[in-house]
Amino acid sequence: MSKSYRVAILGATGAVGTELLELLLSRDFPLSELKLLASPRSAGNSLRFGGEQLTVEAVGDRSFDGVDLVLASAGGSTSKQWAHKAVAAGAVVVDNSSAFRMDPQVPLVVPEVNPEAVVNHQGIIANPNCTTILMNVAVWPLYQVQPLRRIVVSTYQSASGAGARAMEEVKTQARAILQGETPQAEIFPYPLAFNLFPHNSPINDLGYCEEEMKMINETRKIFGDDKLRVSATCVRVPVLRAHSEAINLEFEQPFDVAKARDVLSQAPGVKLVEDWQANYFPMPIDATGCDPVLVGRIRQDLSHPCGLELWLCGDQVRKGAALNAVQIAELLVSKDLL
């Protein structure tokens, strides 16, 4: 690549922000300048990038002057406050929060699914929810082969989805329990160590929580299929990093298991992990730090002739957030849209 770009990371000190740093370096993104932005509370900290120590700056009105690309991962309220100011300053924003995902003017992109959507951006591109990304990478290749009627998904979501402090809280709770003490919860509403509970996002009048509705609405938007029926049950589990999902798919016609396995073995962003004799399938411990979504245990749904079951694990911080954002940025570079 002959051109290079001035990039800012908004939310640089968080779990996704530090992962963005690693990915920009390891994937050799064409940088001419890198600016690290965060809240005033984190300003003055330094983070390593290659052989350099970069100082974190407090985000402000002039932070985006001269910046080509903003990778934002600082929460919805922060994105709503700063994204349009960044665009007005001439930057393209790839936003990892939920702030703009369902805005009809904002592309919602999983590069393995709908890369063409980046062309229609008006300054902001949204990164989908982590569970949506992981599911879409695995389901889309099958959806392209056979019309899909319905998705029923249950998620097993790690502490990393709530950030670095949540991961530390689970460690502290585990130590407390093992020492015979009462675990304390601050980030989560209940202790997560040695426990699990339905996802703690707000619940609507239909009984679905916000996280579940994200999976439903975002998948329809990304697939471009408003009629696709999706139901989700999202659960927090005592895993530090990497989410898991059990997915049931109902197709228009029977879908041969061997065909599905062949399709997924060749799908971009997917790694097939199946050892039936050893009962070895994707696990969070294997998905942690891994770019592909690990998919396995593909089998016929015994309750429905047109049903398939599959299991997946994916790194929420990586493909579920930072990697997807960097892949979007790489798309923008390849299409000369920065």
Binding-site residues: 13-16, 41-42, 101, 157, 160-161, 183, 210, 236, 316
Number of H helices, E strands in the chain: 8, 14
Q: Which residue among 130, 199, 234, 313 is the active-site one? A: 130
Residue 130 catalytic?
Answer: yes
115 in Cβ contact with 109 (< 8 Å): yes
Binding-site residues for substrate: 157, 210, 236
Cβ-based neighbour number of residue 333 at 10 Å? 18
Tell me the C-alpha distance between 233 and 208, whole Å: 8
- The encoded tokens of residue 46 equal 């330094």
Cβ-based neighbour number of residue 53 at 10 Å? 9
224 in Cβ contact with 113 (< 8 Å): no
Binding-site residues for phosphate: 101
Q: What pairs with residue 177 in β-bridges?
A: none
228 in Cβ contact with 148 (< 8 Å): yes
- The encoded tokens of residue 186 equal 């601050």
125 in Cβ contact with 95 (< 8 Å): yes
Sheet architecture: strand order including 243-251? 197-198, 229-236, 148-157, 243-251, 307-314, 293-300, 270-272
Binding-site residues for NADP(+): 13-16, 41-42, 160-161, 183, 316
Q: Which residue among 121, 199, 234, 243 is the active-site one? A: 243
Residue 243 catalytic?
Answer: yes
Residues carrying an active site annotation: 130, 243
